[in-house]
Amino acid sequence: RKEVEQDPGPFNVPEGATVAFNCTYSNSASQSFFWYRQDCRKEPKLLMSVYSSGNEDGRFTAQLNRASQYISLLIRDSKLSDSATYLCVVNFNKFYFGSGTKLNVKP
């Protein structure tokens, strides 16, 4: 079983839509969690850390469910510029990356 699993998508949504991604992880002792965004042929960029209490940054909300071992990312009011691949990252002694979920926001 992979350490981190994500639905590869693509998720095709219209502008203004709300979209949510989930990511599951296998190691219950994982300590920290992140969402990164990666544009085509570019490096990953930190979108937000994920805290146990959940956290929100503008249109983006991340949540952690330790009991079920998943994290989620909710994007409200999608913009064209949100089109990218979203990487779930779990840290247990080292970073484990999911393979990413591709989001296409269409006009």
Interface contacts to other proteins, rule CB under 8 A: 31-32, 34, 41-46, 49, 87, 91-95, 97-100
Nearer to other proteins, 15 or 57 (CB): 57
Nearest distance in Å: CB 107, other proteins: 25
Dihedral sign computed on CA atoms, order 23, 56, 89, 10: positive
Nearest distance in Å: CB 48, other proteins: 10
Nearer to other proteins, 60 or 97 (CB): 97
Please check whether residue 87 is in contact with residue 4, taking contact to mean a CB–CB distance below 8 angstroms.
Answer: no
Q: How far apart are CA 77 and CA 60, in angstroms?
A: 9
